[in-house]
Amino acid sequence: MKLQVGVIGATGYTGYELVKLLHRHPQTEIVWATSESSAGKRLSELYPTPDDTPLIKQADAPLAQADVVFLCLPHVASMEAVAQVRAAGARAIDLSADYRLPDPVVYERWYEHPHTQTVLLGEAVYGLCEINRRQIAGAELVANPGCYPTTVNLGLWPLARAGALGPRIIVDAKSGVSGAGRKLRLGSHFVEANENLSPYSIGYAHRHIAEMEMILGPHVQGEIEIAFSPHLIPVNRGILSTIYIEVDPALSEREVRGIYAQAYADEPFIHLLPPGQLATLGHTVHSNRCAIALTPLPRPGQWIVTASEDNLLKGASGQALQNMNIMFGLKETTGLL
């Protein structure tokens, strides 16, 4: 029998992408989908699709009918909704930021809202599949990672785990416009974004820094110092992070490459590029992969890592489905190739 799946918040870009993935997944069935703003309509009235999935209010969703519920809500809005899903006995995969940061103090500092579900927060597993696979397998609640941190954490994890990553990290990241959501904003207006390139919230201002510090911080020598500069680029989908790092200068180029090759040897969704190649959006858009390339600078111990993903797939709904596959013991790549 197929997994019975509920989707809360099905009409934003991540929700709609997830619905498309679930339809293609051979072992899932959508039992209900919600939208507060469009309840009573069908998905085909909101997107150019023949998909006639009806949309209901979250309050009307029969939570207990679902084996697993995906929540595609804004942060804060998801906090309570996850609790209801768990209370109804369904496993939860939350695409918001609400359960990503285990320390409620850190959460509140970045998201400017107290965390009201601290017990549940303690149970949540951070769903970065390649790093936390074992914990995800047994989890009842998975917090799906942010789009930018997925490129940075996957791009640096092998070095961090090996104790070879220096604390000063500069991330110059570029994201397609779907990352800003479907909400109407001047910055997402075609004429404003097209033929343009706009940095925003650069330096030490963007909330996604918290997830980078959480994953990498414990492994670097001394205090981690991240500068993070996101840019909006005129494409629909995709993130490229160009990451400037310091690596233990005792390691040869070959050793650095070996650390990555070993860490990601069996990973179906990591595309480690050969020397001389660089990650581009083209390597990953419309796939669930993360592409990673390593470029040494002339001065010993200085490297540039380029890492790309599709922000709606490996950066959101694709990784959420990968988490579901892991949680329910399915082949991890099912519905994702």
Nearer to a copy of itself, 207 or 237 (CB): 237
Amino acid at 62: P
**257 vs 98: CA distance, rounded Å:** 35
Token pair recorded at residue 120: 């549940």
Nearer to a copy of itself, 116 or 333 (CB): 333
**309 vs 330: CA distance, rounded Å:** 23
Minimum distance of a copy of itself from residue 272's CB (angstroms): 9
Minimum distance of a copy of itself from residue 301's CB (angstroms): 12
For strands 168-175 and 239-246, give the pairing: antiparallel
The residue with tokens 């110092």 is 225
Nearer to a copy of itself, 116 or 221 (CB): 221
**Count, residues in the chain:** 337
Minimum distance of a copy of itself from residue 8's CB (angstroms): 22
Minimum distance of a copy of itself from residue 318's CB (angstroms): 14
DSSP 190: H
Return the number of other C-beta atoms located less than 10 Å from residue 282's C-beta. Answer: 10
Nearer to a copy of itself, 96 or 284 (CB): 284
Signed CA dihedral, 50, 146, 64, 35: sign only: negative
Interacting residues of 134 by C-beta distance below 8 A, sequence separation 6+: none
* 147 is known as an active-site residue: yes
Interacting residues of 255 by C-beta distance below 8 A, sequence separation 6+: none
Minimum distance of a copy of itself from residue 242's CB (angstroms): 6
**307: nearest Cα among 280, 334, 268:** 280
By CB under 8 A, name the binding residues for a copy of itself: 13, 23-24, 47-50, 170, 172, 174, 176-178, 182, 184-186, 188-200, 202-204, 225, 227, 229, 231, 233-238, 240, 242, 244, 271, 278-283, 285-286, 289, 291, 295-299, 302, 304, 306, 308, 337
DSSP 16: H
**20 vs 22: CA distance, rounded Å:** 5
Local structure of 33: helix, strand or coil = strand
Nearer to a copy of itself, 96 or 229 (CB): 229
Active site residues: 147
